[in-house]
Amino acid sequence: MNEIKPIETVYNGYKFRSRLEARWAVFFDAAGIKYIYEPDGYKIPCTYHGNYVGNPGINETDVYLPDFYLPDFDIYAEVKGSDAQLKQASGKLGDAIDYESTPMSKAGLIILGQIPYRDVFHDGKGDAIPVFHTLYWYKGVASGYCAFAYFFKQRGPHTLLRLDYYAHYGCPIPNQVSTECEWWDLSEDYIDAARTMYPYEKARQARFEHGETPKP
């Protein structure tokens, strides 16, 4: 069976490798988040390759190119369309994070999957916002959570990104990290849920066919 390949998509001067990456770029634009697509690649050790994806690891080093860098937050983001794709790449992601081998190690790497959608205003559970898994280095590969959220009250220069780290010693991928977002029900009144969810709506609605250019 032939592998189905993603469709390359041009948006905002970048040629993205997939529509999903382009939709996340639309999200960042709608949210007012600066991004750099495919910043510098890095040489990484081949420690986890054989363990996770069957790569015999004959070469001592490999290269890894993250999908996005968010300069205002000094954090990277990797887009995977499914947990199966994440699992396939998990060895390389582990190598990119572990041993403080790249700038992603301590800056952190956000795992982004499909653009989240939930009818949070009519499901009887109150407002909620999506949160995403992150990877970073802390005595090994550790994981945490990240939420893009608007706050009613100014909380310093980075009011849009909320990071909640917790340490998992040893490499947590692929078992403890997923492309699927989780949902935080909002008990705090300082998060503007409607404004937070708006960029996701714009990203889902973006159309790239027939020469159309999405306008966040």
pLDDT given at position 157: 45
| Lowest mean pLDDT across 6-10, 21-25, 94-98 | 6-10
Average pLDDT over residues 189-202: 84
Q: How many CB atoms lie within 10 A of CB 127?
A: 17
Residue type, position 121, single letter = F
Dihedrals phi, psi of 117, to nearest 5 degrees: -145, 135
Q: With 80 as the cut, is the pLDDT of residue 29 above it? A: yes
Pick from 109, 84, 116: which is nearest to 184 by CA? 116
Per-chain mean pLDDT for the chain = 79
pLDDT given at position 65: 92
Higher pLDDT, 152 or 168: 152
pLDDT band at 1 (very low <50, low <70, confident <90, very high): very low
Average pLDDT over residues 67-94: 91
Query: Of 8-12, 18-22, 52-56, which has the strongest mean pLDDT?
Result: 18-22
DSSP-derived letter for residue 211 is G
Residues 6+ apart with CB under 8 A from 99: 45, 47, 105, 137
Average pLDDT over residues 62-67: 89
pLDDT given at position 58: 47
Q: With 60 as the cut, is the pLDDT of residue 104 above it? A: yes
> Is it true that the peptide bond before 71 is cis, omega within 30 degrees of 0?
no
Average pLDDT over residues 10-26: 90
Average pLDDT over residues 174-186: 81
Q: With 90 as the cut, is the pLDDT of residue 4 above it? A: no
Residues 6+ apart with CB under 8 A from 75: 69, 107, 108, 109, 110, 134, 146, 161, 163
Tell me the percentage of the chain whose pLDDT exceeds 90: 27
CA 48 vs CA 112, 175, 177: distances in Å? 21, 14, 16
* Cα 204 from Cα 116, distance rounded (Å): 8
Q: With 80 as the cut, is the pLDDT of residue 57 above it? A: no
